[in-house]
């Protein structure tokens, strides 16, 4: 019973992925952490979204060991575990193979910031981590994927609290957030940004990045100390 | 009670945006003005479309001050206010981040008139206002956005009664009209025109603009004094 | 009462257009002819598809004069009338502004035959009629559009019984058939062919046209005297 | 009654094609074999998916002769028969004209392996068989199509158990599998891979193929002897 809350919210969040058109079949997963208990709930591996139930969500500790549940957890579980361990302020992680974000990941390019839709969510190009070296791949692959994400953020001087989305080169996107609602929201926003950036370059290959004043303005009106977007809480 | 009419029609018009596939989450807003009362009803900021009610629509005056309503109005409210103040014949304004129109805005290019679908609605390329200078951006940003739209129309010698749609460079589209039905219709038409123009250039980068005789013919059969499209009123 | 049959089938066929995703708002129309009575039923101008009723369909003669009905017929009525007059074996005509077919029309290019999906329906590139000269445009425009379609078929040596679809340059597609079901089917097939040809050229700009043996084989297995596609009637 | 099992599962599998957005009208078909009886059930030719019933599925032997059923079988029946005869371990075959896979087929290019979504399903580029020579085309066309698929696999040194999907040049995709569920799944996955590869090349024409270590890792975690994707059976 003590896992019921994260099981329920992980189940609800996973069901958002097909509704938002972010997954084909089982190609995605959401997890939600309970920091007090030191465990997270994650989608079971290979189970179709329309067969998911609250009870089927698997409870895993931060080393990726199953603590409770009858099914095998997502094959990406260790990536989630590593991110939760290093980034103690995040509450939920989403992984999808959404169409446009995955295509960008397959090019190994960062997604340039071309407009205010992008700037409303982050002030930098969406980072794309390079593929790992062969030793990491043939070793503890999913663990190393998490380390790769963390290292890429460090090398680019980015904070996971400012930038809640990343592409893993040749693979696909990961997003995160304080809540599952925010983490799923970020996946849908990333797909939207990836789609718009693709179209922008197709229409005009020489399109310029958004200028600094607009980046700053749009991000701050939504996220700065004097933000005036949304309702005050 | 005296605001019920514009609240209701603004609510209805806002609900059209997700139905017409013009918005992701809360990325858009519609307002409707009551010229006699000198106020307009607008979507509250950051509220999801499926949680909107008539009562939640915010009533604002032409300086952007909230006159009635419990919620904070759209962060784009001052842009709406400026346009209503300067263009006294318009009754409604729509702002979205629809996919293709926004991609064109991100290239800072006008959308060339390539066919009769475009000419049925306007005789000129869809104008794209350049991004503002940094002083305007860091100043009263939403107010200046309205001024930028108005100035761009002036510089291009266009009337807001002939051309009811515009892209704001690196940002997204705005459309307007005498009624909320027409303003929302214009947003959907603009997205359609933007999509077709994108495909046209992809198929044949050297495509020619529509010739003058066809522009004139198509616009006049729908809008001229001897128009014969639709039912006579 | 004597027009009930064509009114009903024109109404049904018009309703297929939004279902098949071929029209935005009112941008399309279907007509169905009664050859014995010398009249056809056509969509009223500017009426949204969800407000159409059997009674609203307008009955028009082959000179485009309204014979029965309270509403103004489609502004494209004279184009339909001309085609019915010259091509006595066709029973229905469809006009849409469907996305991909219209984009090809805006480039003034024929759609090359790249695969068997195309060859299953016609053995030639989908013809695109050039835009009319200015005198024809400013004259009896819709009448001349029909003449332009007929002349383009003649110049290319094509029969309207073999090729039941055409693009009008800078405008949009027209399709026809012996029955309304077939004419609407042709509009959806044309949009599919246009979409695939677009993708084919994007993936490989030097793609070759389908070779003659495959064109012949696929067309004949569906349409030749020894066809073996579908159920024998 | 002895054909009821394959009729039912073929019927169910055929209905998945429109649900997964893989077919327009009747442009596709699924068959399911009963190895003990030496016959397979296949969609009747030209019958719309929403008019399909279990009883309408046609029972055919491995030479393509109808054994049971009132309707003519799919015009592609002989291709299915040839594949079943040569590849004795497969249980179901799917043919569609899905948009992106068909566009790749029209370019006669293999689909390069650009990411893990692809590697999760096969370790090689998706093979595209060249169009047949004219004698084969004008001869027993559907039979030769099967032979062409088998020969292409042989020439590329591929096993039909490792690679369950192929493009036929200028035509469209075929997929197969041990079960109808798997064969249909493969068609949807192929369309997804084809779409992503298209976008990848549009965004960055010089994108590199996925490196070997990642291909191996992703395929093996899902299909190798130590696979850990999905639930153990």
Would you list the DSSP string of D188-222? HHHHHHHHHHHHHHHH-TTPPPPPHHHHHHHHHHH
Residue D134 C-alpha, separation from nearest chain C C-alpha, in angstroms? 6
Report the DSSP pairing between strands C58-61 and C66-68. Answer: antiparallel
pLDDT at C233 > cutoff 70: no
For residues D200-208, average pLDDT: 98
Return the axis-axis angle of helices B141-155 and B77-86, rounded to nearest 10°. Answer: 40
Active site members of D: 120, 229
**Nearest alpha-carbon partner for A48 in D146, B23, C213, D231:** D231
pLDDT at D41 > cutoff 90: yes
For residues D131-146, average pLDDT: 96
Query: What pLDDT is recorded for position A136?
Result: 95
Q: What is the mean pLDDT of chain D?
A: 96
Q: Which residues of chain A have pLDDT under 50?
A: none
pLDDT at C232 > cutoff 80: no
For residues B136-147, average pLDDT: 96
Angle among Cα C145, C150, C155 to the nearest 5 degrees reads 120
Q: Given an 8 Å threshold on Cβ–Cβ distance, is A229 in contact with B75? A: yes
Residue D2 C-alpha, separation from nearest chain C C-alpha, in angstroms? 25
Q: Residue B233: which pLDDT band, with cuts at 50, 70 and 90? A: low
Q: Tens of pLDDT along D7-40?
A: 999 999 999 999 999 999 999 999 999 999 999 9
pLDDT at B183 > cutoff 90: yes
| Residues of chain D neighbouring C229 (CB-CB closer than 8 A) | 45-46, 75
pLDDT at C107 > cutoff 90: yes
pLDDT at C156 > cutoff 60: yes
Q: What percent of chain B has pLDDT over 70?
A: 100
Interface of D with C (CB under 8 A): 24-25, 27, 44-47, 71-72, 75, 97, 99-100, 102-109, 131, 134, 137-138, 141, 170-172, 198, 201-202
Q: Which chains touch B (3 or more CB pairs under 8 A)?
A: A, C
Q: Tens of pLDDT along D73-84?
A: 999 999 999 999
B229 is catalytic: yes
Active-site residue (options: B61, B68, B110, B120) = B120
Beta-bridge partners for C221: none
Chain C residue at shortest CA distance from B203? C198
Query: What pLDDT is recorded for position A115?
Result: 98
SS3 C202: helix
Q: Given an 8 Å threshold on Cβ–Cβ distance, is C137 in contact with B214? A: yes
E strand or H helix at C182: helix C180-203
pLDDT at C1 > cutoff 90: no
Q: Where are the domains of chain B?
A: 4-223
Ranking A188-197, B167-176, C211-220, D156-165 by mean pLDDT, the lowest is: C211-220
| DSSP code, position C131 | P
Interface of D with A (CB under 8 A): 114-117, 185, 188-189, 192, 195-197, 199-200, 202-204, 207-208, 210-211, 213-214, 216-217, 221-222, 228-232
pLDDT at B167 > cutoff 80: yes
Compare CB distances from A105 to D115, D229, D232 and report the shortest one's residue. D115
Chain B residue at shortest CA distance from C48? B230
> Distance between CA D221 and CA A76 in Å, rounded?
11
Strand order in the sheet with D28-34: D66-68, D58-61, D39-42, D28-34, D92-96, D173-177, D165-168, D128-129
Other CB atoms within a 10 A radius of the CB of residue A131 amount to 22
Q: Given an 8 Å threshold on Cβ–Cβ distance, is C24 in contact with B192? A: yes
Q: Tens of pLDDT along B18-57?
A: 999 999 999 999 999 999 999 999 999 999 999 999 999 9
Interface of C with B (CB under 8 A): 24-25, 27, 44-47, 71-72, 75, 97, 99-100, 102-109, 131, 134, 137-138, 141, 170-172, 198, 201-202
Q: Residue D233: which pLDDT band, with cuts at 50, 70 and 90? A: low
Q: Given an 8 Å threshold on Cβ–Cβ distance, is D196 in contact with A106? A: yes
Residue B55 C-alpha, separation from nearest chain A C-alpha, in angstroms? 15
Tokens of C207: 């793609």
> Distance between CA D164 and CA C232 in Å, rounded?
34
Compare CB distances from B172 to A117, A185, A217 and report the shortest one's residue. A117
| ipTM of predicted complex | 0.97
A157 conformational bin, left if phi > 0, alpha if psi -120 to 50, beta if neither: left
Strand order in the sheet with B173-177: B66-68, B58-61, B39-42, B28-34, B92-96, B173-177, B165-168, B128-129
Asked if C149 and C166 count as a contact pair (C-beta separation under 8 A), the reply is yes
Active site members of A: 120, 229
Active-site residue (options: C34, C68, C120, C125) = C120
From the candidates B27, B46, B47, B103, which should be mutated to test the interface with A, based on the most A CB atoms within 10 A? B103
Q: Tens of pLDDT along C52-75?
A: 999 999 999 999 999 999 999 999
Q: Return the CATH number of B4-223, one of 3.40.225.10, 2.60.120.10, 3.40.50.720, 3.40.50.150.
A: 3.40.225.10
Residue with the larger pLDDT of the pair A127 and C232: A127
* Four-CA torsion A190, A165, A205, B199, nearest 10 degrees: -20
């Amino acid at each position: 019973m003590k896992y019921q809350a994260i099981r329920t919210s992980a189940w609800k969040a996973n069901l958002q992925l097909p509704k938002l058109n972010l997954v084909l079949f089982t190609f995605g997963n959401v997890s939600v952490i309970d920091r007090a208990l030191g465990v997270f709930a994650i989608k079971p591996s290979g189970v179709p979204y329309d067969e998911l139930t609250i009870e089927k969500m698997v409870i895993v500790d931060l080393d990726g060991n199953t603590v409770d549940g009858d099914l095998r957890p997502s094959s990406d579980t260790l990536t989630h575990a590593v991110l939760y361990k290093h980034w103690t302020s995040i509450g939920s992680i989403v992984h999808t193979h959404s169409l446009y974000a995955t295509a960008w990941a397959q090019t190994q390019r960062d997604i340039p910031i071309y407009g205010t839709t992008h700037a409303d969510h982050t002030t930098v190009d969406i980072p794309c981590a390079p593929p790992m070296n062969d030793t990491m791949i043939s070793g503890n692959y999913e663990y190393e994927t998490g380390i790769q994400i963390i290292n890429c953020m460090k090398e680019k001087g980015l904070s996971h609290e400012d930038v809640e989305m990343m592409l893993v080169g040749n693979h696909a996107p990961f997003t995160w957030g304080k809540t599952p609602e925010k983490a799923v929201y970020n996946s849908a926003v990333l797909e939207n940004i990836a789609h718009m950036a693709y179209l922008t370059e197709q229409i005009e290959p020489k399109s310029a990045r958004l200028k600094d004043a607009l980046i700053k303005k749009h991000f701050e009106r939504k996220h700065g100390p004097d933000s005036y977007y949304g309702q005050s809480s």
